[in-house]
Structure 1
Amino acid sequence: MLCELFNVASSCYYEFKQRKPDASRIRLASQIKELFNMSRGSAGSRTLVSMLSEEGIKAGRFKVRQIMREADLMSKQPGSHRYRHAKVERPDIPNLLKREFSVSTPNRVWCGDITYIWSGSKWTYLAVVLDLFSRRVVGWSLSDKPDTELVSKALEMAWEQRGCPKNVMFHSDQGCQYSSRKYRQRLWRYRITQSMSRRGNCWDNAPMERLFRSLKTEWIPATGYLTQAQAKKDISHYLMSYYNRQRPHQANDGLSPVNAENRLKSVSGIC
């Protein structure tokens, strides 16, 4: 009688009663939601497929995208930005990197840059050092002043954490912090070769621009942080935990930076 009332075929009703829930799909949906929430809503279907793969779960992008649509999960998408182009190099610190961002081994090329973050009632400045081999953050520093001390602390952290390496090239923009005498003396002390982008050309330091874009669009709250201490704790978690150890990178064939370096160690036999 109800089937006739709602104009539903009785065979469809009995088929629906016999249908069993797909336990594996329910588990997969739960794992996708967990990873999506861990990324603070920034992971899309491609990223989620890579994250699931690192956990030993095989799932196609179409299936993940379908589950995301069913669960109403929509990833954050950064807006477009128009970049300027320039060709002016510093004669004393040339652009040695020349956009050769593919590096075969760790501790050969590091990149650095500074960005600003709102915390409390003022700007807080973040300096980061990135290893181009795996796109791993190897040093960072936070301060309320965008001075040479800020970038020096980030470099010192990278140099110590990576075991005081030799024959490293450090690339940055032409900011006064990186071209200051104090910073250049620090590079000379560490026996690090300095390279600088052309003036106003952010494409010469694209990996750093990509890192800061990911940080601001994926992680930092739209209204900023309440205090600098809160900003330091949350940004530290993003850089050293989520970004380095969990977030997949296309440059690493879908592996996180730490897993990419571990893969190199296992292949080459490096301890």
Structure 2
Amino acid sequence: MTKHFKSAFRQEVAELVVDKGYSIREAAEAMGVGKSTVDKWARNLRKERNGEETHDTPISEERRRISALEREVQQLKMEKEIFKKGHSSLDVGLNEKFALIEEMKGSYPIKSLCDAFEIHRSSYRYWEESSKKIRPEDLRTDIEVKAAHELSGGSAGSRTIATLVTSGGYDLSRYRASKSMKRQGLVSCQPPKHNYKPANKANITIKNNLNREFSPISPNQVWCGDVTYLWVGDRWRYLATVLDLYSRKIVGFALSNSPDSALTKKALSNAFKARGKPTGLMFHSDQGCHYTSLLFRQLIWKYQIKQSMSRRGNCWDNAPMERFFRSLKTENMPKNGYKNEALANDSVRDYIYRYYNSVRPHSHNLGLSPNEKEGFYWKASNWLARKG
């Protein structure tokens, strides 16, 4: 069995040989220590006093203090590096701290990392073991989340995915959806919030009759429209859409190589015919020339639609329409645009009819798709008509 001697005892034995003239044998017999051990201690003490480096445990008290200070400095340097790599902040949650330790454990001792983040090593070990275990419910959640993410074309975030999965019969919160996305490395392509500079210049002849009242009480009461551009092949192609504000449903659209009045007229005509030529309708748009032109306004008069226009340079006055275009471009359009016109036409049509109107949950509809919200409205209307 290996014996362990205290530092003060090693120093005392070495000083018998170095300072008091004892031979190695005499000191070993007097203190009950092996001769080779006494010889090593004595040699190390002489080296320390001469300022030479030794690779063994320090003998003298002064050398021990220096060694302790060196270890403390080294520890402080290590903790400083850990803080820098830990994003210069410890003001994060427990799971984030565990994740940082896991990321840096290849470069630093786990004990030092746990000390720096003020975490017990046993807590980290427990987290490490539990994170490797896949529970059956987590496996089911991952499958559902991945399917919803693929259905959205990789665009849906945790809120939309939670709504889609829950509507399919599997109860899922936004928090659990977010955790599952992180486990699988799924990322939403939604862009961050953008700050717009508001303006207040209204059109001289057409007022802002809508005035941001974006929540009508029935379908075919208020429509809004706008034109955006899509990169197709090696040129721009333009999309005009018409949206029913009640359900946020796209009720008509048209594509063209020119952003002119013919395009906006075609989109409005498609919507008007598809919705059964409704009466008492208001149409809201921005002040683009394709909406202020005589040709477009003649169509408005023909359909007996009340026209409303946003204030110039104020995109918030037509926010629902702008929001749809953002969804289309982030959720459907490739980063480098569509390859050709046929592919662009099919992709836009599929996105609107098969996904946006039919499947995609909308916060304005309390998580329902546009078709579902309108379906509930017409069902309730028919029931009230029969009852009356």
In the alignment, which residue of structure 2 is the partner of 1:139? 252
CA distance in 2, matches of 1:79, 1:60: 22
CA distance in 1, matches of 2:171, 2:230: 37
**Structure 1 letter corresponding to 2:218:** T
Q: Does 1:99 align with 2:187?
A: no
In the alignment, which residue of structure 2 is the partner of 1:8? none
CA distance in 1, matches of 2:147, 2:165: 11
**Structure 1 letter corresponding to 2:282:** M
Aligned with 2:142 (options 25, 29, 38): 29
Aligned partner of residue 201 in structure 2, secondary structure: coil
Deviation at 1:27, TM superposition (A): 3.1
Q: Does 1:118 align with 2:228?
A: no
Q: Does 1:202 align with 2:315?
A: yes
Q: Does 1:191 align with 2:299?
A: no
In the alignment, which residue of structure 2 is the partner of 1:250? 363
Q: Does 1:41 align with 2:164?
A: no
**Structure 1 letter corresponding to 2:224:** C
Summarize deviations over 1:128-178 as a string: whole Å, max 9, x none.
000000000000000101111101110011001111000000000000000
Aligned partner of residue 167 in structure 1, secondary structure: coil
The structure number with the bigger radius of gyration is 2
In the alignment, which residue of structure 1 is the partner of 2:342? 229
In the alignment, which residue of structure 1 is the partner of 2:108? none
Q: Does 1:177 align with 2:295?
A: no
CA distance in 1, matches of 2:141, 2:195: 39
What is the aligned length? 254
Aligned partner of residue 269 in structure 1, secondary structure: helix
In the alignment, which residue of structure 2 is the partner of 1:5? none
Summarize deviations over 1:34-68 as a string: whole Å, max 9, x none.
11012121111111111112212211222222211
Deviation at 1:255, TM superposition (A): 0.5
CA distance in 1, matches of 2:234, 2:172: 45
In the alignment, which residue of structure 1 is the partner of 2:180? 67
Aligned partner of residue 203 in structure 2, secondary structure: coil
In the alignment, which residue of structure 2 is the partner of 1:164? 277
Aligned partner of residue 231 in structure 2, secondary structure: strand
Runs of 5+ consecutive residues of structure 1 not aligned to the other structure: 1-15
Summarize deviations over 1:236-256 as a string: whole Å, max 9, x none.
111122110111100000000
Deviation at 1:24, TM superposition (A): 4.6
CA distance in 1, matches of 2:370, 2:262: 27
Runs of 5+ consecutive residues of structure 2 not aligned to the other structure: 1-128
Deviation at 1:110, TM superposition (A): 0.2
Summarize deviations over 1:187-240 as a string: whole Å, max 9, x none.
111111100001111110000110111111121000001111111110111112
Q: Does 1:239 align with 2:352?
A: yes
Aligned partner of residue 151 in structure 1, secondary structure: helix
Kindly report structure 1 stretches of 4+ aligned residues shifted beyond 4 Å.
20-24
- TM-score relative to the length of structure 2: 0.63
**Structure 2 letter corresponding to 1:156:** S
**Structure 1 letter corresponding to 2:360:** R
Conserved 8 A contact 2:202-2:208? yes
Aligned partner of residue 313 in structure 2, secondary structure: coil
Conserved 8 A contact 2:228-2:238? yes
Q: Does 1:58 align with 2:171?
A: yes
- TM-score relative to the length of structure 1: 0.89
Q: How does 1:10-25 map to 2 (within 5 A)?
A: 22-25=135-138
Conserved 8 A contact 2:290-2:296? yes
Q: Which moved further from structure 2: 111-120 or 68-77? A: 68-77
Q: RMSD over aligned Cα, in angstroms?
A: 1.8
Deviation at 1:265, TM superposition (A): 2.0
**Structure 1 letter corresponding to 2:177:** V
CA distance in 2, matches of 1:147, 1:139: 17
Conserved 8 A contact 2:249-2:370? yes
Q: Does 1:217 align with 2:325?
A: no
Q: Which has the higher contact order (CA 8 A, sep 6+)?
A: 1
Summarize deviations over 1:54-97 as a string: whole Å, max 9, x none.
21221122222221111111212313433232111122110000
